[in-house]
Amino acid sequence: MTPQKGISKIISDTAYNTYEAKLEREVMAYPPPNHVAIIMDGNRRFAKEMGLASTSGHEKGREKLEEVMEWCQELGIKVLTVYAFSTENFNRSSDEVELLMELFEDSLRSLKDEKRVHEERIRIKVLGNLDLLPDNIQRLIEEVEDVTKDYDSNFYNIAIAYGGREELVHAFRRIAAKVEEGCIKADEIDEDMISKHMYTSHVPDPDLVLRTSGEVRISNFLLWQMAYSELYFTDVYWPGFRRIDFMRAVRTYQMRQRRYGV
């Protein structure tokens, strides 16, 4: 690195750190969202632009998620829900699906024994049609959910083999079965009852839903739950998502006035 480039980098880093500190002070001055949901998008495009294999993009995406969990703890965000793998993602190449399943297996094993999970009393729950997943992944999900089932300080939800429409169908079928059994009457069905039959019945609906990669759509994610969520889209690919990007999203949420249809 030439002296001129070295000086430019120092100036750039100083400016970045100054802005990050200013933004953090602003964010900490207001209540954070209680529940943040994230559509993690752009792993493959990030890898392509960086000249890396797509496998590296997914691996870096997993590392980024670990960082975001820390950021949520720092800002006092109690519930984090991430969209990791949709039902449609099974249509990708067998090699890519196999790699993602291996990453999920590694992540679940780590979460089961992670010190921070138990110290911060983080309840972990996997959302989705788990019957579509390999047996070893299903067993791990059962184990990690079981060891954290009594925790209620923080919540970490991972949507795997998930589809918003399928979740609604699943909820409606459960309710219909109870009607057939005579447990409830059809005219007793209301919004609250439907919410109680969703995968996320243990947490409030998301306050903030953000998506990376520049795509401006919700891709069948939390269709019922995000009825009144604030939406935030950023052009940054998921593996390149920085703490400053996360704080910008939170600060934007804090500056909005939520009206709930009023």
Contact 146, 123 (CB under 8 A): no
Catalytic residue among 13, 17, 41, 150: 41
Closest by CA position to 202, among listed 150, 138, 165, 141: 150
- Whether 41 is catalytic: yes
User: CA 212 to CA 221: how far, in whole Å?
Assistant: 14
Question: Residue 226 carries which side chain, given as an amino acid letter?
Answer: M
Which strand (E) or helix (H) includes residue 86?
strand 79-86
Catalytic residue among 89, 129, 220, 245: 89
- Whether 207 is catalytic: no
Question: Residue 50 carries which side chain, given as an amino acid letter?
Answer: M
Query: Two tokens at 115?
Result: 């010190």
Kindly give the interhelix angle for 94-113 and 54-75, rounded to the nearest 10 degrees: 30
- What residues are labeled active site? 41, 89
